[in-house]
Amino acid sequence: MIITLNGDNYEFPEGTTFLDMAKEFQSLYKEDILLARFNSVLYELFNPCKEDGNIQFITGRSKIGQMTYERSAIFMMLKAFYKLCSDVKGFEVIVDYTLGRGYYCHLNGGVEITPELLKKVKDQMDVYHEMNIPITKSSMRTNEARDFFRKVGMHSKEKLFRFRMTANVNVYDMDGFRDYFYGYMVPSTGYIKSYDLIQYGEGFVLLLPSRQEPDKVTDFVPFDKLYNVQQTSSKWAKKIGCSCIGSLNEMVVDGHSDDLILMQEALFEKTIGNIAMDIEEKKKKVVMIAGPSSSGKTTFSRRLSIQLRALGLNPHPISVDNYFRDRELAPLDENGKKDFESIKCVDVELFNNDMLKLLEGETIQLPRYNFFTGKREYKGDFCRLKPNDVLVIEGIHCLNDEMSYALSKDAKYRIYISALTQVNVDSHNRIPTTDGRLLRRIVRDNRTRGYKAKDTIAMWENVRRGENMNIFPYQESADVMVNSSMIYELPVLKIFAAPLLFQIKPTDPEYQEAKRLLKFLDYILPISPELIPQNSIIREFIGGSCLDVG
């Protein structure tokens, strides 16, 4: 059979595995080849090739390659833990959420996490790496999978498969240790070279490489504020019995979805109210709100303003977007394209001058940015602050001191908001926070701008790059962090997002990402949006908000 790579043809016997092909071409790549894309379809390397076609090889520098490496490293870590703690009744490893360049995990079963235990686990992982154990995949009847995972104490997987309509599920095996994973694996443990385990908080962090340096583990940087807000959300989800999709589906089936919506909205309203009281008590005059794309900044700022008014304050919402420079003045990124995420797109000097004048009691005319013409305009929006007035400023750069360099730190109250998903597929399969935000944006972009899902997916990488440069480095400087993820939102977003994702064709570059999103949405039973309050943050994305959210 004829295999085409980068325009050149090569001949291989029919049935040659992609792994054997990868070995032939490995010298062309700096990093290990982890997957193959053959005729636009992704394959794990242990699969045989049976026809002519075009091939591309995937390394850890791509998103899908990085996720494959991380998933495989988690599998190897789990095998080490379960070997060392095999005699502990009720033992379980929970892979809870991402934290920096690692995965925060904790243990059930009363096992104390110590540096000594983590060293033993890492040493065992090193042994598995040296053994180069094959990672294989086999099909299991769904009912048999439920029985198997119940027997080995992985109950979140047992619940997950209760709601699977497919007759079979794929289970991975690493020398007798079997587990279910949502996504691809490397062919053997020899590929898993870089990892570390660091004790942190109430658990530990599995550190893994980045896409920029796929062969090197980055140093651990504590994110204490992010950790605290994620711990709070994770513990609350566990407290109400809804920390994984299987449990969430049970609540839907048992008719408790309405209660779930009302509980979550009540908790979120309490959070906003507490922040408003904190602002009043500290007599802050400037509230600055920042967060990544689709975190719900606009709805949050509107609801916070309502809470401030309830306390007798008079909030003035101001969007940093209105201080954008004219579009032709936008700086260029390293690829020569206009970088609209850069702080240099903002007239920082004008912003600071205007805010200072307001704080000094002067009257100013606020600008409006016309996104159709790419020009800043003035339409007679005059503003002057009174004694009980508060500026509520929202924008992606609000936590960057450069954005408000002229304003006193004592006057500012800084809020970081992000949708930090607190529900996992199961105990070992995370739903990335970015996936929740991407689904939000797909739904909103289609509703408000007429964008197709493939358009939103296509630009998501640039959005993420801007977040990594302009938002995440400043998140720990916030006075308070807010998790805007609603525990019920994925079942609601599924109704709106799934049809849009199905529009993406197999020949589209965005197809694999759409397929991945659809696969995890398939685990989830839908929830009707009818009972979602009109002021809910989810209404900013699905529509029907009573607030002015654009």
pLDDT above 80 for 282:
yes
The residues near 264 (Cβ < 8 Å, ≥ 6 apart) are: 486, 487, 488
Indicate whether 373 and 243 sit together in one domain: yes
Band (307; pLDDT cuts 50, 70, 90): very high
Structure tokens at 295: 């975190």
Residue 413: exposure state from Cβ atoms within 10 A (0-12, 13-18, ≥19) = buried
Indicate whether 155 and 44 sit together in one domain: no
pLDDT above 80 for 246:
yes
pLDDT above 80 for 335:
no
Indicate whether 262 and 352 sit together in one domain: yes
Q: Please give the pLDDT value at position 280.
A: 97
184, 204, 222 - which closes a domain: 222
Q: Please give the pLDDT value at position 331.
A: 85
Average pLDDT over residues 427-454: 95
Q: How far apart are CA 492 and CA 85, in angstroms?
A: 39
Share of the chain above pLDDT 90, in %: 90
| Residue 335 vs residue 395, higher pLDDT | 395
Cβ atoms 82, 91 nearer than 8 A: yes
187, 222, 257 - which closes a domain: 222
Q: Please give the pLDDT value at position 255.
A: 95
The residues near 283 (Cβ < 8 Å, ≥ 6 apart) are: none
Indicate whether 210 and 271 sit together in one domain: no
Q: Does residue 227 belong to any structural domain of this protein?
A: no
Domain count of the chain? 3
Q: Report the chain's terminal Cα–Cα distance, integer Å.
A: 55
Q: Does residue 547 belong to any structural domain of this protein?
A: no
Q: Does residue 175 belong to any structural domain of this protein?
A: yes
Q: Please give the pLDDT value at position 6.
A: 92
Indicate whether 309 and 174 sit together in one domain: no
CATH code, domain with 400: 3.40.50.300
Q: Does residue 25 belong to any structural domain of this protein?
A: yes
Q: Please give the pLDDT value at position 462.
A: 87
Average pLDDT for the chain? 95
SS percent in the chain: helix, strand, coil, step 5: 45, 20, 35
201, 222, 243 - which closes a domain: 222
Q: Please give the pLDDT value at position 394.
A: 93
Indicate whether 199 and 264 sit together in one domain: no
Q: Please give the pLDDT value at position 456.
A: 96
Band (70; pLDDT cuts 50, 70, 90): very high
Q: Does residue 178 belong to any structural domain of this protein?
A: yes
User: In which domain, by residue range, is 366 found?
Assistant: 232-542
Please work out, in degrees rounded to the nearest 5, the angle formed at the alpha carbon of residue 444 by the alpha carbons of 439 and 445: 100
Q: Does residue 550 belong to any structural domain of this protein?
A: no
Q: How far apart are CA 317 and CA 327, in angstroms?
A: 23
Q: Please give the pLDDT value at position 337.
A: 81
CATH code, domain with 31: 3.10.20.30
Band (106; pLDDT cuts 50, 70, 90): very high
Q: What is the 3-state secondary structure (H, E, C) of 109-133?
A: CCCCCCHHHHHHHHHHHHHHHHHCC
Average pLDDT over residues 197-218: 94
Q: What is the pLDDT of residues 109-147, one digit of tens each?
A: 999 999 999 999 999 999 999 999 999 999 999 999 999
CA max distance for the chain: 81
Indicate whether 115 and 164 sit together in one domain: yes
User: Which helix (H) or strand (E) covers residue 355, if one does?
Assistant: helix 348-359
Q: How far apart are CA 162 and CA 246, in angstroms?
A: 8
Residue 52: exposure state from Cβ atoms within 10 A (0-12, 13-18, ≥19) = middle
Q: How far apart are CA 299 and CA 264, in angstroms?
A: 16
Q: Please give the pLDDT value at position 327.
A: 87
Indicate whether 176 and 218 sit together in one domain: yes
Q: Does residue 548 belong to any structural domain of this protein?
A: no
Band (279; pLDDT cuts 50, 70, 90): very high
Share of the chain above pLDDT 70, in %: 100
Indicate whether 189 and 140 sit together in one domain: yes
Indicate whether 531 and 393 sit together in one domain: yes
Q: What is the pLDDT of residues 422-440, one digit of tens each?
A: 999 999 999 999 999 999 9
What's the one-letter identity of residue 261?
A: I
Q: Please give the pLDDT value at position 330.
A: 84
Q: Please give the pLDDT value at position 340.
A: 81
Q: How far apart are CA 15 and CA 47, in angstroms?
A: 9
pLDDT above 90 for 200:
yes
Q: Please give the pLDDT value at position 17.
A: 96
DSSP secondary-structure letter at 191?
Answer: G
Indicate whether 70 and 55 sit together in one domain: no
